[in-house]
Each structure stands twice: as C-alpha cells, then as structure tokens.
Amino acid sequence: MSAPSNTPALRGEGFHIGPLRLETPLLLAPIAGHCDLAFRILCREQGGVGLASTDLLNCTAVLRGTSKSIDLAATNGLDQPCGMQLYGNWDDPLPEAARWAIDHGAQLIDINMGCPVDKVAKKHGGSLLLCDALSTMKLAERIVESVRRHSNGRVPVTAKLRLGWDPEHFVAPQLARDLESAGIAAVTVHGRWTVQLFSGVADWARIGAVVEAVRTIPVIGNGDVNEPEHVPALMKASGCRGVMVGRGSLRTPWIFRRALGLLRTGELPPEPSFHEKLNCIARHVELLNRYHAVEHVLHCMRSRISWYGKSMGHVKGLKEGIRTAPDVGTMLRVIEEWRRPDGDAISSISNDLRLSVERS
C-alpha cells in the first residue's frame, strides 16, 4: 500500500489522536533507557517533534512510588504534549497506573504491547499481550474506560504493537481493529516480530496491512527510521499517518526538524553545521545537569558522545575528552575547546549552568 503524494501526512501536517492535537506527524519513541526528560526536551528544542513519550513505566512500580519510576515519569511545561507509556499484563493494575499518570502530567496514555525484551515480554507485558488478543482487548477496554472517567475524556489511550510474536502469528491487523473497537485512539506499529528483537529489517509493507485493517484511527509507523528521508519513504510504503523515530534520534536529535522540512517543502534541509552540533551537545549536558543527578549526566554523555561523533567526522579527541571528564565542568570545557577559530561561542551553555558548575 502507498500513500498519495498529496496526503496530509506527506505534507507534514499534524493530526488528532482522539482529543489531542499533534502539530506534526513525527513522534519521539519511548526508548528504554534513553528517553529521559532532558533528551525529550532537547529533541523538542531542535524542532519537528509532535509528541514525545517517557521511557516505559512499570505499572506496579509507579503506584508504589519507586524513585526510579518517579524519575522516569518526570515531565514539565517544556515537555508537552507528553505521553506516558505503561507496561504490565492482564492481571496488573494498568487502569490504576493510567490514572496515576494523568495526575502526574500525562496528556496521552500509551500501552506497551511490543517490548520484545525477555524480562518484560515473558512475564510482565509488552509483546506478551500479542499472544492473547481477547484478553488484551478486554484489558484495553478497562484502561480506556478508567482514563475516560478520570480525565473527563480529555486524555486518549493508544497502544504500541509489533507485527506479532513470529511470522506464523501476524496478529497486528486484527488486533489493531479490535483495539479500535475497544476505544484505543491510535496504534503505533513497529514493523518487526518479537523474535527478531531489533535484528533484520522492519517490514513497512506489513505496517500498511494494519493501516488497511483499522477503520478511522491513525496508525503510526515505526522501525528503521534512521535518516530524514526514511520518514516519507515509510509513509509512502505503508500509508501510515505518522512516524515514530526511536534509535535514529539518539545520534541525530535534529532528525525531526529535517524530516519535517522535507515533508513540507519537498527539499531536505541542510544537516547542522559542526558548531551547531557542538551547541546541541552542550545543550544536552546543560539539560541533563538541570534535571538529573550528576552521576546520570556523566554516564549518559559518556555513551552518547560516540553516537554524536558518528556524524561529526574525526573527533576522537572530543569523544575521549567527554568519556574521561570527571565532572560536568570539564565536559563543558572540552566542548568549548573544540570551537573553530572563526566560530561563535556556544550560546546554549547558560550563565546559570556556569555558576552552578563553579560552585560545585
């Protein structure tokens, strides 16, 4: 299935998920272990993001108020609209956790039905929910009704699926149609089987089969979107209304801005300059330092700098400097040392951050 070139999606127009209006058709995926508040804000500031979601949240843990869950669910006014993704199985308190999420800032509740990782999919939910469609539809009905009552109808419930557990069980089209009947306002489909994990190639054509199966709700395509050009390609191949970007954003958080420009003008905006990429890295450090513990800042940037570096040429010294930096101040000095002689100062490093680093 292919989408005509004049469809709203391929013009870069936003769309509604139930009562929630998205300004663009591009969504940041709830990337497990990486989608913290700082990164979500960074991607939004780079431009083009219509919706960003938290890291997946264990429904039982959020109700217990564990410190990790509270940190993962943190949001604020710079992080809107914010979706919160919950996972659990048919016997877990997902409806109660959905109400908790609304009370803690969620403007959309997403149910994880696609996580392939063993510790989730073999016991706690995720792709496990693909294996019993009837029970999963009943669970969806309970969550939708709970959210409708608690939010007075203002918060939609969505689901994120895989194609099925394996190629012998292609359940996504019928499950998506059933979920629509249960009140689910949109489905995101990752074009892989659970058994694939993240190997192989995402099957965009089978995402198109899900588009054909539902009646009116939007389908959001996901999988192997690593470059801006992949966004219109996925839309054309599947007919999906929106595109969710996951791992491709980790090295290029500006992918949303460039993809949106391509959709709206037909021309691919230029890649950020070397200085702009340095600014983005510095801003990432600043946001991490503002919202997270120092240990998280250092751990996060020591891994992320290798991903940033893939688009920056020969920057071994920059990567080593960040990896070996003992504190945030040293990280910022390393970044500033990489300015070119004709470059401007890194404007994204705020005076407040400088003062906080000097006092630490």
Cis omega before residue 116 (within 30°)? Answer: no
Residues making up the chain, counted from first to last: 360
Residue 24 CA to residue 14 CA, distance in Å, equals 4
Phi, psi values for residue 177, rounded to 5°: -65, -40
> Read out DSSP for 291-352?
HS-HHHHHHHHHHHHHHHHTTSSS-HHHHHHHHH-SSHHHHHHHHHHT--TTPPP-TTS-HH
Residue 269 CA to residue 46 CA, distance in Å, equals 13
The catalytic site residues sit at 115
* pLDDT lower than 50: segments of the chain: 2, 341-360
Residue 116 has what pLDDT?
A: 84
Q: What is the pLDDT of residues 226-262, one digit of tens each?
A: 999 999 999 999 999 999 999 999 999 999 999 999 9
Residue 120 has what pLDDT?
A: 81
Residue 136 CA to residue 138 CA, distance in Å, equals 5
Q: In the chain, where do the E strands start and end?
A: 15-17, 20-22, 26-28, 51-53, 57-58, 82-87, 108-113, 157-164, 187-193, 219-222, 242-245
Integer angstrom CA distances of residue 124 from 88, 91, 117, 120, 360: 5, 9, 10, 5, 41
Largest CA distance in the chain: 64
Residue ranges per structural domain of the chain: 9-265, 274-359
Please give the DSSP secondary-structure letter assigned to residue 239: -
Confirm if 111 and 140 have CB atoms less than 8 A apart: yes
pTM assigned to the model: 0.91
Confirm if 129 and 139 have CB atoms less than 8 A apart: yes
Classified as helix, coil or strand, 210 is: helix
Residue 232 CA to residue 235 CA, distance in Å, equals 5
Burial 39-78 (b: 16+ CB within 10 A, else e): bbbbbbbbbbbbbbbbbbbbbbbbeeeeeebeebbbbeee
Residues β-bridged to residue 244: 27, 222
Tokens of 191: 């074009």
Residue 358 has what pLDDT?
A: 45
CA-closest candidate to residue 280, choices 254, 298, 306, 314: 254
Residue 323 has what pLDDT?
A: 96
Residue 97 has what pLDDT?
A: 98
Residue 174 has what pLDDT?
A: 97
Residue 360 has what pLDDT?
A: 44
Q: What is the pLDDT of residues 76-113, one digit of tens each?
A: 999 999 999 999 999 999 999 999 999 999 999 999 99
Residue 313 CA to residue 290 CA, distance in Å, equals 29
Residue 7 has what pLDDT?
A: 78
Topology of domain 9-265, CATH? TIM Barrel (3.20.20)
Residue 349 has what pLDDT?
A: 42
Confirm if 25 and 263 have CB atoms less than 8 A apart: yes
